[in-house]
Structure 1
């Protein structure tokens, strides 16, 4: 079991990605503490209600984890936000406040959870801090408002965190999938842009899949399995990077 006896906190555990990672980590032997803005049950575990934009709430929850488990080995931020109001609007017509909303939410959430996890990991000189982004961080795409810049900010933060924390035994790694057909992610991206693109739902899926080498999109299980490996000791060479899981849509 790749994560046997590891203590992991999953933020956004009530979402599709967070739930899949919670299940996979538990199956791999980790002691998982799921957290989210809304309570949910995954892998037989009841998640704690934690707002990842509330520093006090995150800090109190982490202290509870330390009190119960004695340590923190993995912090995984899979927090998502309601992006529909900022998608489907040309940048020339987008309100500045709506443009900066994803930047503020995604970057601050990742920063807070990572910083507070690092404070627990530094004394033990070990740990893994992880998050999820999207190929929007590296490719110019229309009608996505500030979502692409927000993903780029998270990837930049991954590199900066690693530069400071790696000498203290802490790895920082991101995962970058493209859509996920068995999650709400792909439809949430499609619906606000449907009218502007003129594409049907089937055409949208086919377009995204056609850009990959195997002509299909990654599944939640594949993403979660990759997360298990990257969190494990076998991935000790990975830090300061965001792993490309776009199945060839994005060439590194």
Structure 2
């Protein structure tokens, strides 16, 4: 039921971290991946790890040329809307550059890319959009007002788009991880006080792995999740259950 054989999946932010883990998991489940990132070196390394099943696109997801290229695809079975970033700052000290940058990538680019993917999927009458959100799309946390804002926005996009696209055979879901061991989170988790703050809030007592998120991603893209749309799959060790 989680077999993705023959499916074509586009993944943004695929060069490293969760995006790369999802790309590798999709290929291992039988799918073919269009991997998008700004780093050619990262994509070359990914393609070498999964030869013949990765189509690398060295592009900026905020670029209109990228959105046009997605919309022009003849077929697209899955889209993992993963590109994004976080720059933690206290609410009263958030600078405009940080606010605008995170809104531009985490919300605007994510919306426009999902819109482009949806055009292809509606035309073919099938497809799955997986918005990579966060547990921070369900709760709040100190120093993360902008990140929470952007991830709550994506959760709203998931619900609205799911309702609108369901009659066209297109599912839209969110995948919401807790803190995961990635290059982006490593410096934050290395701080002893912050690491304790995180672990104290996860009932399972540990942060997650990229493989655990990737496995959930494959499930959401697969026929096993054929009745799942408009909802968010929390891979958070119980953080939001409290």
TM-score, length of structure 2 as denominator length: 0.88
Q: How far apart, in 1, do the equivalents of 2:172 and 2:70 lie? A: 21
Aligned equivalent of 2:32:
31
Corresponding residue of 1:185? 184
Residue pair 2:70, 2:116 contacting (<8 A) in 1 also? no
In the other structure, the counterpart of 2:224 is 234
In the comparison of the two structures, how many residue pairs are matched? Answer: 233
Whether the 8 Å contact between 2:11 and 2:79 is mirrored in structure 1 is: yes
- Show the counterpart of 1:169: 169
1:141 aligned partner = 141
**Aligned-partner Cα distance in 2 for 1:144–1:119:** 33
Identify which of 62, 70, 77 aligns with 1:53: 62
SS at match of 2:119: helix
Counterpart contact for 2:70–2:113, Cα < 8 Å: no
* Structure 2, gaps ≥5 residues long: none
What secondary structure, in the 3-state scheme, does the structure 2 residue paired with 1:171 have?
strand
Could you tell me how far apart the structure 1 residues matched to 2:56 and 2:192 are?
34
Given that residues 125 and 169 in structure 1 are in contact (C-alpha distance below 8 angstroms), is that contact kept between their aligned partners in structure 2? yes
Could you tell me whether the CA contact under 8 Å between 1:50 and 1:58 is conserved in 2? no
**How far has the Cα of 1:233 moved from its partner?**
0.8
In 2, the alpha carbon distance for the partners of 1:165 and 1:17 equals: 26
- Alignment-derived partner of residue 196 in structure 2: 206
Map of 2:152 onto structure 1: 152
2:104 corresponds to which residue?
A: 104
Give the Cα separation in 2 of the matches to 1:116 and 1:46.
18
Q: CA deviation at 1:160?
A: 1.0
Taking the aligned partners of 1:140 and 1:224, their CA distance within structure 2 comes to 24
Q: By how many angstroms is 1:137 displaced?
A: 1.9
- 1:165-200 Cα deviation digits (max 9, x unpaired): 01110000111101112x123235x28xxxxxxxx6
Deviation at 1:61, TM superposition (A): 4.7
Give me the whole-angstrom Cα distance separating, in 2, the residues matched to 1:26 and 1:149: 32
Residues 160 and 58 of structure 1: is their aligned pair in 2 closer, same or farther, counting only changes over 3 Å? same
Aligned-partner Cα distance in 1 for 2:20–2:33: 11
CA RMSD, Structure 1 to Structure 2 (Å): 2.0
Change (3 A) 1:203 1:91: closer
Answer whether contact 1:8 1:76 (CA < 8 A) is retained. Answer: yes
The DSSP-based 3-state class of the residue aligned with 1:174 is strand
